[in-house]
Structure formats: C-alpha cells, structure tokens
A and B are shown apart, each in its own frame.
Chain A
Amino acid sequence: MLTHVWIIPLIPALSFVAILAIGKRLPKKGAEIGIASVAICLVLALATGTGWISRVNHPPESAHAEATAQSVEGHEAEATATASATEGEPAASADAEHAEGGAEAEEHHVTPPVQRNVTWFETGDVTVKAGTLIDGLSALMLVIVTFISLLVHVFSTDYVGGDRRETHYFAFLSLFTAAMLFYVISDNTLQMVVGWELVGLCSFALIGHWWEEKPNSDAALKAFLTNRVGDIGLLVGVIILYFAAGKTFDVLSLNTQANAGLIEHNLLLIGSLCLITAVMSKSGQFVLHTWLPDAMAGPTPVSALIHAATMVVAGIYLVARNYGVFFNGLSIGTANVNALAVVGCVTLLFGAFLAFVQTDIKKVLAYSTVSQLGYMVTALGVGGWTAAIFHLFTHAIFKACLFLGSGSLAHHIHSFDMKKDMGGMRKRMPITFWTFLIGTAALMGLPLITAGFWSKDEILAGAHQLGGDGGYRFAVIMGLMGAVCTCAYMTRAIWYVFYGEPRGKSAEHDLHENGPRITVPLIILATGSILVGYANLPEKVFGIGVPESLSLRFEHFIEPTGAYFPSADNSFSHPEFVPWIALVSALAIVIGAGGAYLWYFKDKGPHGITERNKVARTGYKVLENKYYLDWLYTDVIVGFVKGPFARATNWFNQNILDGVVNSVGKGARGAGEFVYHRIDQGVVDNVVKGSGLAAEGSGSVLRKTQNGKVQWYAAYLFLGATILAAIFVIVAS
C-alpha cells in the first residue's frame, strides 16, 4: 500500500466525475457514490497507516545498508531515491547525516520514507516529477482527512438532504477530498501548489454553495481572493526554493539540503518568509484570517470538514512538510523569537478575543479555529513539530465535533444566532449537548482526560523548553492567556446555547434530537476527543512514569527520522512534560471558565461596563469591527483598486493611450485634408485643370474638321500623304 497511495486521491476524483455524471438520477442524489468512495479511501488510508507502523517497527534492511553506504549530498541522494523507486522498491532518502554518526543511528531508528515518482513533464533542462511520499506525517493526514470526510459525508446525507443542489454538494465534497489527499501525499512542492489551489477551488465552490444570495458569493470570493494574496507568497517561495535546491521541486532533496547547510541561509530565510504568507492566508493567521469567519456562509458540514478540520491545516502541513527549510531558515532551534512564532502567538490571542463578541455560534467556532491554528503555528515556530501535528490531529477531531454539533443545533431552526434564536437546548437535544460539551472540554484542554490538554500542553512545554536561552517566553505567556480566553468564550457559548430559556426560533419550533445520521458522527467524534489524547502521553506525568509502550507513541511513529527532517545536529530537540505549565494551564481553565461562569451563569461582575467605561467601549467596538481589518481590505484596498484605481487606469487607457492613437488618426486625417484641399486641389489639380482647358479649346477648333463627310477625310488623308512624301523627298535629298 505504501507505494501505491496514488490510488487514494484517484478514487474520490473519479467519484466527483461519477456524481456529476449520474448523481442526479440516483435515489440519494449521488451521496452514495461519495460515501462509498470515501469509505474505500478510509480503509486504504488505514492500511497505509498500518503499513507505516509496521515499517517503523521493522525498518527495511536494504534501506539501512544503503544509508550507511552513502555519504552523499542532496542531488545524488535524490537520484538514488528515484532509482530505487522505479524498481518498485521502497525508496530510501539519503540519511547521510545519520550514517556518519553511527552510534546515533543505532539508537535512533531511521525509517526512510517511501517515495515513488514518475516523470511528469520535461521542459528546458528540467525534469519535473510527480510522485507520492509517504511517511508518518502524510499517513496521519490521510487517515484524518478520510476519517473526518467520511463522518461529514454521513452527517450531510441528513443535513443537506433535499437541498436544491445536493448533487453538486456531494460532488464537490468528493473533489475536495481528492484534492486534499493529493496535497498531502505530494512528494514535491509543485504538486503541493496544485493540491493547494484545488482545495481552494473546492472551498470557493462550497462556501458559495447557495450562491443565489449575494453574501454567500461575496464570502466565497473573499475566501478565494484572500487565499490568492497568500498564494503570491506560495508561488514566489516555491520558486525561490526550487532554484535554491538546484532546480528541483523534490521535498526530500530540498529539506535534506537545507538541513545539511548546502543552501544559503538568506535564500532559506526569504523562501520561508514567503511561504509564511501562504500559511497566513490558508491557515487563517492574523491579518489574512478575515476570510475564515466569512467562510461560515457555506453549509455547516463543509465548515467542519474544510474550514476547521482539514483544509485550513494545509498551511500547517506545508510548514511541517518542509520543516527543514523553516527550521534552518528561521533558526528556530537557537532563537528566542521568529516570524512563525510571532504570527502564531498574535493569531492565537487576537483570534480568541474576537470569539468573545460573536453572536453567531459558527463564528465563535470559526474564530476559535483561527486561534487554535495559531497554537499550531506557534508550536511549529518554537520547534515543537510533534506538538503541532499532535494538536492538528486532536483539533481536527474535537473541532469537527463542535462544528457538526452546531449544525445539529441549527438543523431545524435554520439559524446560528446564539443570542436571538437559541437557549435552553440542553434538555431538548441531549446527545448534541453532551457531545458538544465534550468537544468544548477538549478545546479548553480539561486536564488529563481530554485530548486537547495533552496537545496544548505539549505546545506550551515546547515554547518553554525549546529555542535558545530562555526559550520562547512570550509564546508561553501568550499561549496561556489564549487558553484563558478560550475557556471563557466557550463557556459563554455554552451558556447562550444550552442554558437559559429558549428564545426566538428555537422557542417557535418543536425541537427534538436529530436522527442517527447526525448523532452517530457526533458520538464518534466526541469519543475521539477524549481518546486520541492518549496517543502521545509524555514519558513522565507529574513524576509518574508512563510505560514505554504507551508513551510518545505519536512522536515515535509520526515524526520523520530521515535526513530531510531537522536532527539533533541542527539543535532540534523534544520538550518534556513540565508540571508547572500543566498546573498553570489548569488554572487558566479555572480562571477563564470560572470567570465566564460567574459572569453568565451567575450574572456577577461589572455588567454593562462597555456602556459606562470609555476604554472598555472602545475595546469592544474594535473587536466588534474585527480590528477594522475587513474595512481596510474590502473598503480601502479592494475598494480603491476596483474603484478609483481601475477607473483611472481605464480612463488612462481610453483617453491617453487611445487618445494618442486617435489623435494620430485624426492628425493623419487632418494632414490628409490639408494635402487634399490645399496642395492637391490647389496646385496639382490646377495644373491638371489647365491642361484640360487647353485640350478643350483645341478640341473645339479641331472639331470642325470632323464634319462626317467621307470625302473630306479622304482629302485630309491625301494631304497628309503628300506632305509626308514631300518631307521624305526633302530629307532624302
């Protein structure tokens, strides 16, 4: 399976075509094709995952031998990898670094990734390859994407059943799944660009699913355009790294070279900064995050799948996949501050602030997603690679649970407004309530029992321990503050939705729990929100040792071990469990959730402060207007480009450029007229006219000779002949 993963994205891609072709004629409008294909994919993905685990447990001998035999540089390494791939053997990337230090290789098992590629096309002196790369990371992503996608498909059969465009909906879900899977198994950056853009397209199509209403299509456009802005960075970054790595898109070769110090540091730095722009747009990092909340205009299952669990982590995956580039380019291992960590920290905090003022439950969750993505970026920025991916994993599950839960809530009332249309849902929708509560607990990071705790804690521990002297201190502080906010806004949401008296539409409807196609996915995800946390228990928790067969399993299987991943030589290290951080983050829950509990449930605290206090009012207003970023983008920048700037250009085109052309034309015509009237008619023509007059005059004289009398003519003839004869005679003599 490891060498044939290309089948996995192919299945949903075919399903997309099949649904479009015959979906409308099927009883479920194409949903059955989608579910079947994604289910097959899930099985295949699990097979891939198992294949990878057994590969880690029993690394192939040949690869080991190869690794020790080689002490080669990037280019040759790539050649070997390709050569062995074409033989159908598992490809071994060069592990030169590890091979040199033999002792380390003994202790640190190297499991080479499985790379397999074919020539895609050749142009100039460049051969571009297409291929698949399977290691722990991509295997994990395959499982996450197919798993969530399957649950979302099942959920959707109920949720969008009977929708005006059900078939298209499922078709695009399939296409999205295909694109995302294609993206995560790519073995080169060019292919990643392709997958990256295709998921963007699906996101566009699904956000704008109900395109009859302008706000929806506006949101779709905004998502696509904002992502395009980030794509400038992606394109430029990929191009820079392509040349930096000696004209290759290959991820393994690129990162191996970056780790080995074969690429100029400046190029790595600029390249990774460019890619960060892309990450900012795709993964909703601060200043380019504005599209993500608007993307909630799409159907809720789409928000769960695309805008929470999978697509938005494409940016995280981009960094994780090219970690060699980022780690070395930003000097993550030795610095105290870097662009990635700063972006992540600002996002996690500012996103959490915004979640406070939302009344739409989906927007709360959307900003919460922004904030959690900030955690992941922070983790990557401080060097906690495993923590980031682990958090990606747990977040995918509990956030999908929350989003689907909000869909379940709104399924009957068709409104997401917590303040106006919800309240008191606890009793009426118990399964939704409990699953939502578990998801919330995981998001808050309830210690020891929820998945969110383990992953978030690892991030904070990483920020504390990794990096140069003193670690990334600001990341620890901001991370903890973010945790407080998270707890507070989620408590607020729980209050509005599930407690109090039913309001608005929820009061009008006779609400009851949804059917199994909605609740079963919720239950599965809620269970997952608790269980998956144990996948990466630290070695010691509060001094109690965890058995080796249970601890750090995630790190063991997922974290790459080849030379394409930063190693200890690049000062890459792993954090350990820090008791005080765990305690403080538990305290954060108490403060955040407790404070919000007092405020909302018990109605204590300075209510109405936003009306009384000027500072608080300004703060509230800034938050309500989303830091005025939307205003800046939509009204100022886009408005300027689309309005005055474009019009000015058009004016320039019509009046200046075209004016020049037209005036040249007019000038030519004017000159022509001058020539015609003055010169042609005045001078030349008069000459002509004069000659005409002369001809006329002479004609009227000569005319008289033409009297029509034949004999006259004969006389002329003879006269002429006589004269000629006379001349001849004279001349001859």
Chain B
Amino acid sequence: MKDLLNGWGVTAAVFLPLVGALVMLAIPKSEETLHKVVALVTSLAVFVVGVALLWDFDYDHTAVLQYGQDKSWIELINARYLVGIDGISLPLIALTMLVVPLVIIYSWDHFPAPHNPKAFLILILVLETGMVGTFVAQDLLLFFVFFELVLLPMYFMIGVWGGEQRKYASLKFFLYTAFGSALMIVSILATYFLSPKIAVAGQGMMHTFSIPELAHWHGGGLARTTTLLVFGGFFMGFGIKVPMFPFHTWLPDAHTQAPTQGSVILAAVLLKLGTYGFVRIAIPILPVGAKAWAPVIGLLAVIGIIYGALGCLAQTDMKRLIAFSSVAHMGYVMLGIATLTDFGINAAIFGMVAHGLITGMLFFIAGSVKDRFHTLEIKRLGGLLLQAPRMGWLLGFSVMASLGLPGLAGFWGEFPAILSAYQPAEGLNIGLFRGFMVVAALGTVFAAGYLLWLLQRVAFGTPTEEFEDEHIHDMHFTDYVAWTPMIVLIVVLGIVPGLIFKVTNQAVVHSLIHIGS
C-alpha cells in the first residue's frame, strides 16, 4: 500500500480525472445518467486516493516532499516530471479533491442551460487534473502547464454555461489571466537561465526548473534589479489570479456570469492557485525580491480589503456581492503573505482553505437561490428564512463564517493575518505594517457591514410581493449531500485550527529559511 502510494499516489490523483474524462468521451451524449455516474465515481476515486494520501502522510516532517516522483520529461531542457506533496500543498490538494465531487453532486439535478452534462462534467474533470497538478508540481514548467490547463475548461464553462454576458466575462477572464501568465513564463525562463547549472545524471551540467533546487539557490548572486524584475513577473502572474487590487476586475464578471458550479470551483480553488504560487514559488526562490516587494503587496492587500468591502456595499446582485467579498478576503490572505513571517503565511494558507469553503458555500447558496427565484437581485429577494428556512439558516451560518466569527473557520484566516502584520519579517518597515494592521482590522467592520446587510435583505423580513405566493422548494437531497461536508469542515476547522496549522507549519518555516527573520 505504502509503496503503491509512494510510486503512484500523486500521479493517480492528478491523472485519474483525465482517465474518467476519456471514458466519458467514449460514451454517447444521450446517456446522461451514465455520464454523471462516471464523473462522480471518478472524482470519488480521486477523493479516495486523496484520503489515502492524507492517511499515509508523515505529519511529523511536513517540510519534506512526500510521495515524490522524479522522471525525465523533456530531456533537452531538463524539464522533469517532478511531483510531490508537502505541508503547504496538502491542505489545498485536500480542498480540491473534496470540492470537485461536491460540485458534481450538486450538479446532479441542476445543470445550467444549455444542459449537456457530458461536456460540462468532462470540463470539471479536466479542471480537477489541472488544479491538483498545479498543487503537486515541483517543476516550474510542469507547474506552468497545469496552471494554464486550468484556464481552458473554466473559459468554456463560463463562456458556454454562463449568464447573459458570458462572452464578455469569459474572454476577460481568459485574456487577463493569459496576460499574467505571459509575464510569468518570462520570469520562469529568466529563473531557468539565471540560476546556476546543476549536474544531471547522464547529461552533464544543465539548467533546472526544479522548484526545490531553485529554492535552494534562492537567487544568490543575482543583481538586485534583476531580482526585482523577475519577482515582478511572478507577481503579475500570481497577483492577477489571486486577484489583487487593481487586477481584480475580471473576478466579479467571471463570478457573476459563471454557472454556480464554476463560481464554486473558481472561489474555492482557482483563486488559491495565485496565492499558492507566491508561497510555493515566488517567495522561496526570490526572497530578496519578496522583501522588496512586500510593502507593495501589503499595501495592495489592505487596499483590496477596504476596496472590496466598499465594492460589496454598492452591489445590487447577490452573486456579484459575494464575488467582491472575495477580493476583500484574499486581501487578508495576501497581507499574511506580505509579512513574510511563518505566522503570517500559516494564516494565509489557513485563510485560503477557509475562504474556499466559506465562499464556496456562499456561492452554492446563491446558486440555489437563483435556481428557485430566477433572480439574484437583492432588491427583489427577502424573507428567505420564511420560504426556505434551511437555506436561510445556512446563509446566516455562511455569512457569520465569512465575516470572521471566532469558532468558525474564517476567523483563523483573518485574525492571525492581522496579528502577523504587527511584527513583519526583519527588514520590513514595522510602522508601515502596523498601519496595515489597523486598516485590516477596520476591514472587519466593513465585512460585517456588507454581509449582514446581505443577510438582512435576503433572509430577514418577509418575501416581496413578487414571490409571496410562490412555493419555494427548500433544500434538495443533493444540496444536503453537497453542503454538509463543507459546513462540518467550517465548524471543525474553526474549533480545531491546529488541524491545518500543524500541517503547514514546518513546511512554511522551511520555505522561509532564506528570508532570515
């Protein structure tokens, strides 16, 4: 069992969804149930692999790359199939593997127009491969391939199954991210060529894409300007994906237009690719650049917090509001990262998982509201607690979790991030970061403001005349199945935050050894 996992565990997790997708390609389009079953079974199989990986993970040495695989891929440029899991990637992989089956279950009965479960589910499975692959890749080029692989299915998902302005939104999403990727690949190549050659078995000295090797090198001997520019490339690539103010404008459109399933995956996992990139690649490889950029990142993060919150207050559409709240929440994550302290980055990873669960949950609910009321305009809604009490309660629960109520997961992403800003890594301007801390704390008030405002107008009060007599179906069976794990996790992580901190801690400390704090 252990040998099998070590040898094939990660590869299976990455490519099983693709196998499932290939099987589905062979099945005729009309066999819808079969498609659903195949997709679900595939994603569950991936989940089982994930559980096995989690089970067998050595939690005492989370800084060590586990289940590693190192095979030659493109010999000419020494790009390798180098994968593995450590404490930083583990929580995010687990999150991905959990969310995908839930999304498929949720889709069971409500596929968005134009229906076509075959294509839709295939896209989701391809997405899963891309997402898991990004989190396990330890080779820059491999990382980049998976990072880009994610883009296409999401593009089609928004562009085909999206709302009225889907074409605009999907194109914007694609171009924006592709623009960032273009700068990122430049940085990747720069890193490749500027780093010293290492000995490769049977091929003499060669440059390398290996992330652990590059982190070991950590940009030694680079001119400061070069470091800054290379980091800047990474910053654009990842920052757009996060998204950081002012590169966030693709997000509200993409979220609003995407089908519910797309929004959930987008919020739960896709945004984390960016922050993960910072933690995994940009900071360990270029610590000097990170230090120079940290004040900028921190500033943009706190601007994002306040700005996102203000944006939320002005929204009239529930889904768009939740989308803007992502900008604010990812601001906390980025603030934690910007401090460059182990405490802050642990908080950031916790924040990623928490935000994935909570905002995913909010999008699920918004999707169900749309499904019942055929509108998400806040003005037209009201009295959800009367017409669909369970959904109303869950909305209240998610809102509370989202505004960072202690005892639920959201708090542990937010509070430690604020706390870490009090004392950032050595060499960063303490006064500046303390200012950030106060602004971020101010952001919690705004967060409470827009979220409670949403809750009040959607869940409280009485239904508007329009829907007064309409029979609104409360939660479906699939809703129960899809939402329960997320809610349980939100509560469990809120009470026992150590579950994640314990996993990430060593790996984060290890990734920061060259920051020198």
Chain A interface residues (CB < 8 Å from chain B) = 119-126, 193-194, 197-198, 201, 204, 208, 211-214, 217-218, 221, 224-225, 228-229, 231-232, 235-236, 239-240, 242-243, 638, 641-642, 645-647, 649-650, 653, 657-658, 661, 665
Which residues of B have CB within 8 Å of A123? 342-343, 346-347, 416, 501, 505
Determine the distance from Cα of A127 to Cα of B508 in the docked complex, in whole angstroms: 16
12 contacts between A and B (CB under 8 A): A121-B502, A125-B343, A208-B460, A212-B383, A212-B386, A212-B460, A221-B456, A235-B418, A641-B446, A646-B312, A649-B314, A650-B311
Which residues of B have CB within 8 Å of A224? 448, 452
A122→B505 contact, CB < 8 A: yes
Determine the distance from Cα of A638 to Cα of B501 in the docked complex, in whole angstroms: 37
Which stretch in B40-48, B266-274, B400-408 binds the other chain?
Answer: B400-408
B437→A239 contact, CB < 8 A: yes
Known contacts A121-B496, A661-B176; 20 further A-B pairs (Cβ under 8 A): A122-B501, A122-B505, A194-B407, A194-B411, A197-B411, A198-B405, A201-B400, A201-B405, A208-B460, A221-B453, A224-B452, A225-B445, A231-B444, A232-B445, A641-B449, A642-B453, A647-B314, A657-B246, A661-B172, A665-B172
B310→A645 contact, CB < 8 A: yes
Of B312, B416, B497, which is in contact with the most chain A CB atoms at under 10 Å from its CB?
B416
- B249, B311, B460, B501: which contacts A121 (Cβ < 8 A)? B501
Which residues of B have CB within 8 Å of A218? 456
Determine the distance from Cα of A236 to Cα of B419 in the docked complex, in whole angstroms: 8
A650→B315 contact, CB < 8 A: yes
Interface: B441 (CB within 8 A): yes
Which residues of A have CB within 8 Å of B250? 661
Summarize A's interface: helix, strand, loop or mixed: helix
Of B249, B250, B461, which is in contact with the most chain A CB atoms at under 10 Å from its CB?
B249
Interface: B38 (CB within 8 A): no
Summarize B's interface: helix, strand, loop or mixed: helix
Q: A235-B415, A657-B246, A658-B249 are in contact. Are A225 and B449 (CB under 8 A)?
A: yes
Contact with A along B457-484 (1 / 0, CB 8 A): 0011110000000000000000000000
Interface: B442 (CB within 8 A): yes
Which residues of A have CB within 8 Å of B431? none
Q: A193-B415, A650-B311 are in contact. Are A126 and B343 (CB under 8 A)?
A: yes
Interface: B388 (CB within 8 A): no
Contact with A along B372-409 (1 / 0, CB 8 A): 00000000000101100000000000001000011100
Contact with A along B158-193 (1 / 0, CB 8 A): 000000000000001001100000000000000000
- A119, A121, A122, A649: which contacts B310 (Cβ < 8 A)? A649
Interface: B149 (CB within 8 A): no
Interface: B438 (CB within 8 A): yes
B461→A211 contact, CB < 8 A: yes
Which residues of A have CB within 8 Å of B176? 661
Contact with A along B420-464 (1 / 0, CB 8 A): 001100000000000001100110111011001100100111100
Interface: B146 (CB within 8 A): no
Which residues of B have CB within 8 Å of A649? 307, 310-311, 314
Determine the distance from Cα of A661 to Cα of B346 in the docked complex, in whole angstroms: 33
Which residues of B have CB within 8 Å of A645? 310
Determine the distance from Cα of A197 to Cα of B437 in the docked complex, in whole angstroms: 19
Query: What residue of chain B has the Cβ atom nearest to residue A661's Cβ?
Result: B249
Interface: B195 (CB within 8 A): no
Contact with A along B65-85 (1 / 0, CB 8 A): 000000000000000000000
- A124, A657, A661: which contacts B509 (Cβ < 8 A)? A124
Contact with A along B340-362 (1 / 0, CB 8 A): 01110011000000000000000
Interface: B498 (CB within 8 A): yes
Chain B interface residues (CB < 8 Å from chain A) = 172, 175-176, 246, 248-250, 307, 310-315, 341-343, 346-347, 383, 385-386, 400, 405-407, 411, 415-416, 418-419, 422-423, 437-438, 441-442, 444-446, 448-449, 452-453, 456, 459-462, 496-498, 501-502, 505, 508-509
A641→B346 contact, CB < 8 A: no
- Closest-CB distance, A240 to chain B (whole angstroms): 7
Q: A217-B460, A236-B441 are in contact. Are A642 and B407 (CB under 8 A)?
A: no
Of A122, A213, A650, A665, which is in contact with the most chain B CB atoms at under 10 Å from its CB?
A650
B406→A193 contact, CB < 8 A: yes
The 4 closest A-B pairs by CB, nearest first: A121-B498, A650-B314, A646-B313, A124-B343
Query: What residue of chain B has the Cβ atom nearest to residue A230's Cβ?
Result: B445
Determine the distance from Cα of A519 to Cα of B112 in the docked complex, in whole angstroms: 59
Which residues of B have CB within 8 Å of A242? 419, 422
Which residues of A have CB within 8 Å of B342? 123-125
B172→A211 contact, CB < 8 A: no
Which residues of B have CB within 8 Å of A235? 415, 418, 441, 444
Which residues of B have CB within 8 Å of A228? 444-445, 448-449
B313→A641 contact, CB < 8 A: yes
B445→A229 contact, CB < 8 A: yes
- Closest-CB distance, A473 to chain B (whole angstroms): 35
Which residues of B have CB within 8 Å of A208? 460
Determine the distance from Cα of A201 to Cα of B448 in the docked complex, in whole angstroms: 11
- Closest-CB distance, A427 to chain B (whole angstroms): 40
- Closest-CB distance, B503 to chain A (whole angstroms): 11
Query: What residue of chain A has the Cβ atom nearest to residue B499's Cβ?
Result: A121
Of B176, B341, B445, which is in contact with the most chain A CB atoms at under 10 Å from its CB?
B445
Query: What residue of chain B has the Cβ atom nearest to residue A235's Cβ?
Result: B441
Which residues of A have CB within 8 Å of B453? 221, 642
B461→A217 contact, CB < 8 A: yes
Q: A122-B498, A650-B310, A665-B172 are in contact. Are A214 and B461 (CB under 8 A)?
A: yes
Which residues of A have CB within 8 Å of B437? 236, 239
Query: What residue of chain A has the Cβ atom nearest to residue B448's Cβ?
Result: A228
- A119, A217, A239, A243: which contacts B418 (Cβ < 8 A)? A239
- Closest-CB distance, B261 to chain A (whole angstroms): 25
Query: What residue of chain A has the Cβ atom nearest to residue B496's Cβ?
Result: A121
Which residues of A have CB within 8 Å of B461? 211-214, 217
Query: What residue of chain B has the Cβ atom nearest to residue A645's Cβ?
Result: B310
A217→B497 contact, CB < 8 A: no
- Closest-CB distance, B313 to chain A (whole angstroms): 4
Which residues of A have CB within 8 Å of B386? 212
- Closest-CB distance, A613 to chain B (whole angstroms): 41
Query: What residue of chain B has the Cβ atom nearest to residue A649's Cβ?
Result: B310
Determine the distance from Cα of A204 to Cα of B455 in the docked complex, in whole angstroms: 12
B422→A240 contact, CB < 8 A: yes
Determine the distance from Cα of A125 to Cα of B517 in the docked complex, in whole angstroms: 12
Q: A120-B498, A123-B501 are in contact. Are A198 and B407 (CB under 8 A)?
A: yes
- A126, A201, A653: which contacts B249 (Cβ < 8 A)? A653
Query: What residue of chain B has the Cβ atom nearest to residue A198's Cβ?
Result: B407
Determine the distance from Cα of A653 to Cα of B315 in the docked complex, in whole angstroms: 12
A124→B448 contact, CB < 8 A: no
Which residues of B have CB within 8 Å of A642? 313, 449, 453
Which residues of B have CB within 8 Å of A229? 445
Query: What residue of chain B has the Cβ atom nearest to residue A200's Cβ?
Result: B405
- Closest-CB distance, B173 to chain A (whole angstroms): 11
Determine the distance from Cα of A530 to Cα of B118 in the docked complex, in whole angstroms: 76
Which residues of B have CB within 8 Å of A125? 342-343
- Closest-CB distance, A131 to chain B (whole angstroms): 15
- A121, A194, A232, A665: which contacts B175 (Cβ < 8 A)? A665
